[in-house]
Amino acid sequence: MFIILKKTKLIAVILGLVLLCAIISLLHISYSQATSSELEKKYIKWVDFDIPAGLMKEAIKLDVTSYQEKGSEHTGWIELLAYLGTKYGGDFKKYKPSHLKTLLKEINEGKTMTVMAAKLKNYPYYLEAYQAVLGGLVGEFEAEVEEENGKIWQKKYGLKAYSPIAKGYAYDDYDDFGARRDYGYRRKHLGHDMMALVGTPVIAVESGVVEVLGWNQFGGWRIGIRSFDGHRYYYYAHLRKNRPFAAGLEEGQIVMAGNVIGYVGRTGYSATENVNGIENSHLHFGLQLIFDESQKEGKNQIWIDLYELTKLLSNNRSTTLRDDATKEHSRALGFKEAIPKNHFTPKPGDKIEEKLESDN
Ligand SMILES: [Zn+2]
């Protein structure tokens, strides 16, 4: 009897201790969670992008029409896409053309995007995400156009981003985002390859600042251009041996959308500079999203599948001319857009070697 009592007491003490430990550790976990979330800045860490090119084209048309109809609230194409994206949970395989028609009908009946979107909890995320991907592609600009009596400048509003491959040059591509790559170490392909002949002029897709220009082991001769708002880092790699870049192009320089920035080649996959390590010449075209500067380098980079976007941009290709004396190509028709005062500028001395996995 006495022993049994003792045993029960002992069990009670042990259970008590276990319970106490559990409470202490629970308190500790919730405390450390609170402190780490306080320290952690809130910004978008992942974006899936699969909006069909046809839908983007339709949305731009509606945006441009709405822009021309002054007086009523402007319906932006990114707002339209963010609205649909929210409805689909980001999965545009769910898209049907009737969805856009219904949305448009509601807008025409006087409902504004702001009012309709206010009901959707995740709309702010999709708006911010798609704004980061597409923010610089549509807007006001001035472009030279060819008329009977020569070239004239025209003020325009619409698609102001170009295909990365100059007009009149052939290229082949397919959706190769995420495909396996084995040079160096096994990893995923974080860009879009456009197969083209060596020497094909490479075009700046969007206006921005040349952030990096030079050699790296994976990308070979490559150019990195940051959008004025700092959210998009365009990456053009495997450029031509010996003469990779457009003459005079330098880091820190501002380039306009549609400018020739370099030439297709097959450099890269070598620690030695100026080596053709790639079998088939092509442009590796990449787009990294940056919501917080800490995302630029390091493990949690966001790269976008550019297949649909490249398809959209194939509607707008830059015409180039070749100077026979210098063999240099340049754009045939001028383009200007406003450069924001507080545009992104790369900090000198802040140049870290880019994370290798993006460079294939
Ligand atoms: Zn590639």
Alpha helices in 194-289 (DSSP H): none
CA of 53 to the centre of ligand 1 (A): 21
| Distance, CA of 311 to CA of 205 (rounded, Å) | 13
Q: 132 alpha carbon to ligand 1 midpoint, in Å?
A: 22
Q: How far is the CA of 308 from the centre of ligand 1 (A)?
A: 16
> 289 CA distance to ligand 1 centroid (A)?
17
Residue ranges near ligand 1 (ion) with Cβ within 5 Å: 191, 193, 284
Judge whether 206 and 136 are in contact, CB under 8 Å. yes
Distance between CA atoms of residues 142 and 338, nearest Å: 9
Going from the Cα of 282 to the center of ligand 1, the distance in angstroms, rounded, reads 8
121 CA to middle of ligand 1, Å?
Answer: 36
SS3 158: strand
- A 10 A CB-CB count for 50 gives 17
> In terms of residues, how long is the chain?
360
Distance 109 CA to ligand 1 centre (A): 46
Report how far ligand 1's centroid is from the alpha carbon of 305 (Å). Answer: 11
| Distance from residue 284's CA to the centre of ligand 1 (Å) | 4
Distance 360 CA to ligand 1 centre (A): 5
Reading the chain (360 residues) residue by residue, the pLDDT tens digits are 445 556 666 666 666 666 665 655 555 544 444 445 445 678 999 999 999 999 999 999 999 999 998 777 889 999 999 999 999 999 999 999 999 999 999 988 988 888 899 999 999 999 999 999 999 999 999 999 999 999 999 999 999 999 999 999 999 999 999 888 888 888 889 999 999 999 999 999 999 999 999 999 999 999 999 999 999 999 999 999 999 999 999 999 999 999 999 999 999 999 999 999 999 999 999 999 999 999 998 778 999 999 999 999 999 999 999 999 999 999 999 999 999 999 999 876 555 544 444 445
Give residue 7's pLDDT.
62
67 membership: H or E segment, kind and range: helix 53-68
- pLDDT recorded at residue 70: 75
What pLDDT is attached to residue 10?
61
- Expressed in angstroms and rounded, the spacing between residue 286 Cα and the centre of ligand 1 is 8
Residue 211 DSSP SS3: strand
How many Cβ atoms from other residues are within 10 Å of residue 96's Cβ?
8
Cα(61) to ligand 1 centroid in Å equals 31
The encoded tokens of residue 301 equal 């980079």
Report CA torsion sign: 171, 172, 175, 178.
negative
**Sequence-distant contacts of 56-60: CB under 8 A, at least 24 apart:** 56/81, 56/134, 56/308, 56/309, 56/312, 57/312, 57/315, 58/100, 59/100, 60/138, 60/158, 60/159
Report d(CA 295, CA 306) in Å as an integer: 19
DSSP-derived 3-state class of residue 226? strand
Question: How many angstroms separate the alpha carbon of residue 279 from the centre of ligand 1?
Answer: 12
Task: Report the separation in Å between the CA atom of 354 and the middle of ligand 1, taken as the mean of its atom positions.
Answer: 15
Q: Report angle CA 143, 198, 241 to the nearest 5 degrees.
A: 105
Contacts for 313 with CB less than 8 Å, ≥ 6 apart: 161, 162, 163, 164, 205
Centre of ligand 1 from the C-alpha of residue 285, in Å: 7
Residue type, 64: V
| Ligand 1 center–CA 56 separation, angstroms | 24
Q: Are 247 and 240 in contact (CB under 8 A)?
A: no
**Ligand 1 centroid to residue 4 C-alpha, Å:** 74
With tokens 């190509």, the residue in question is: 329
Q: How far is CA 110 from CA 69, 70, 77, 95, 123, in A?
A: 14, 15, 17, 23, 20
| pTM attached to this predicted model | 0.86
What structural domains and CATH numbers belong to the chain?
53-134 (no CATH), 162-358 (2.70.70.10)
178 C-alpha to ligand 1 centroid (Å): 10
